[in-house]
A = this chain, B = another copy of it.
Amino acid sequence: MPSTKNSAISTRQARRGHGRVTLQDVAEAAGVTSITVSRFLREPVMVAEDTAARIRSALAATGYVPNKQAGLLASGVGNIVAVLLPNLSNSIFAETAQGLSDGLQDAGYELLIASTSYSLEREEQLLRALLGWHPAAVVVTGRRHSPATLKLLVGLKAAGTPVIEIWDHHPPAPGTQRARFTQIGFSHDEVGRAMAAHLLAAGHRRLAYVDSGVAEDYRAHERGLAFMAAARDAGALATVIASPAGDAFDAGRQVLGDAVRAGAAPITAMAFANDHLACGALLEATRRHIAVPGQLALLGFGDFAIARQLSPALSSVSLPRHAIGTQTARSLLDALKLSRPAVSASLPWALIVRGSTQPGAG
Interface residues of A (CB under 8 A from B): 1, 4, 6, 9, 17-20, 63, 65-73, 76, 87-91, 94-95, 97-98, 101, 110, 112-113, 115, 128-129, 131-134, 147, 151-152, 154-155, 158-160, 247-249, 253, 276, 279-280, 283, 287, 305-306, 309-311
Contacts and interface: CB of A to CB of B under 8 A. Distances in A.
Contact of A306 (B113, B160, B306): B306
Contacts of A310: 283
B89 A249 contact: no
Given A67-B132, A89-B94, A155-B63, A76 B276 contact: no
A115 B97 CA distance: 10
B72 A101 contact: no
A279 B309 contact: yes
A131 to B, nearest CB: 5
A155 B98 contact: no
Contacts of A18: 76
Given A72-B69, A134-B69, A155-B63, A97 B88 contact: yes
Contacts of A94: 87-89, 94
A76 B115 contact: no
Contacts of A152: 63
A152 B6 CA distance: 11
Nearest to A155: B63
12 contacts: A4-B151, A18-B76, A20-B134, A69-B134, A70-B73, A87-B98, A88-B94, A90-B91, A110-B129, A249-B305, A249-B309, A287-B311
A65 B247 contact: no
Given A151-B4, A306-B306, A115 B134 contact: no
A293 B279 CA distance: 23
Contacts of A253: 309
A160 B19 CA distance: 9
Nearest to A19: B159
Contact of A131 (B65, B89, B155, B249): B65
Given A115-B101, A311-B287, A1 B147 contact: yes
A88 B6 CA distance: 35
A132 B20 contact: no
A36 to B, nearest CB: 20
A239 B190 CA distance: 51
A159 B69 contact: no
A54 to B, nearest CB: 22
Contact of A112 (B70, B72, B90, B112): B112
B159 A20 contact: yes
A128 B17 CA distance: 22
B76 A73 contact: no
Contacts of A89: 91, 94-95, 98
Query: Which of A248, A283, A306 has the most CB atoms of chain B within a 10 A radius of its CB?
Result: A306
B305 A133 contact: no
A310 B253 CA distance: 12
Contact of A134 (B9, B67, B101, B112): B67
Nearest to A17: B76
Given A132-B65, A279-B309, A283-B309, A115 B90 contact: no
